[in-house]
Copies of this chain bind each other. A is one copy, B any other.
Amino acid sequence: MSAQNTPIAPPALPRPVFIVSDGTGITAETFAHSILAQFEMRFRQIRVPFIDSVDKAYEVAQRINEMYRSEGIRPIVFTTLVDSRANEIVRNTQGLVLDMFQTFIEPLELELNLKSMHAIGRVHQNADSEAYKNRIEAINFSLAHDDGQSNKNLQSADVILVGVSRSGKTPTSLYLALQYGVKAANYPLIPDDFERQKLPSTLDQFKEKIFGLSIDPARLSEIRNERRPGSKYAALENCRYEVNEAEAMMRRQGIKWLSSTHKSIEEIATTILQEIKLERDGY
């Protein structure tokens, strides 16, 4: 047989992973992602949201079985389906079904001696709930108080972030507002403040809600250079000066702070909530 006739195996497709949810499936997707990250191989996540009827469950089940047939790799299927009939339909597919709902509901029903409601849509806030309104209000507050834009209503802030330009204040403020309904203002620390050796005077009365972000000067210089290449603003020497001054000021004033250099937005937000005792219910 000539080499030409030797069948060449096609490159293996990454294994398909279905996330089947009756809601958005966002939490399930993030969760599945963190589980799969423990395996040194490639996956293809396919989020299938809003599966809130038996008909839709049949459609997904068919899709899963068909993919198995056509690709020859058994799909992994994470489900969070509250409706038992829909759940049963997906469980009966040929995929490896990991049931994120029933797996935990059963031991809880035993422990609590209470039947669960099996009701869809118990989590996401309706646009007319109080919690939802707070969240939208927090987003508007954080936007209006981004980068020291406004001194109005600072007394309603839950937290006021301070730090040099590009230390991570804005993403953190928005995340706190969106995820937790926390009203987060943020103020840049600028050379004027360092010369006066004082925090902006508008912040004096709010010291207990101030939290600082700092950052490694080399990393800061890199970030600033992407925005304004070759500027004094981005120069390593200037970044060193600003960071040193900012950290010295925070130490002097007894302000709690962390370094954002190796942290994700989620890690920064979690640490702030712990430190300023702002822990709230998730939503």
Residues of A within 8 A of B (CB): 15, 23-41, 45, 47, 49-50, 74, 76, 78, 80, 82, 96, 98, 100-101, 103-105, 107-108, 111-112, 114, 116-119, 122-128, 132, 135-136, 139-140, 143, 146, 168, 170-171, 174-175, 178-179, 219, 260-267, 269-270, 274, 279, 281-283
Given contacts A124-B266, A265-B178, contact A108 B35 (CB under 8 A): yes
Please tell me if the beta carbons of B170 and A25 are within 8 angstroms of each other in the complex. no
Please tell me if the beta carbons of B279 and A124 are within 8 angstroms of each other in the complex. no
Chain B residue with Cβ nearest A98:
B104
Please tell me if the beta carbons of A31 and B31 are within 8 angstroms of each other in the complex. yes
**Cα distance, A124 to B175, chains bound together (Å):** 14
- Give every chain B residue within 8 A of A104 (Cβ-Cβ): 35, 78, 98, 100
A-B pairs with the 7 shortest C-beta distances? Answer: A38-B116, A124-B264, A37-B122, A24-B270, A29-B282, A34-B123, A24-B266
**Cα distance, A132 to B5, chains bound together (Å):** 46
- Give every chain B residue within 8 A of A96 (Cβ-Cβ): 107-108, 111
A72 to chain B, nearest CB (A): 15
Please tell me if the beta carbons of A39 and B274 are within 8 angstroms of each other in the complex. no
- Which residue in B28, B29, B108, B127 is a CB contact (below 8 Å) of A261? B127
- Which residue in B49, B78, B170, B274 is a CB contact (below 8 Å) of A143? B170
Selected A-B contacts with CB under 8 Å, 8 pairs: A27-B34, A38-B117, A39-B117, A124-B264, A127-B260, A127-B264, A136-B171, A174-B178
Given contacts A49-B270, A98-B104, contact A39 B116 (CB under 8 A): yes
- Give every chain B residue within 8 A of A178 (Cβ-Cβ): 171, 174-175, 178, 265
**Cα distance, A275 to B36, chains bound together (Å):** 26
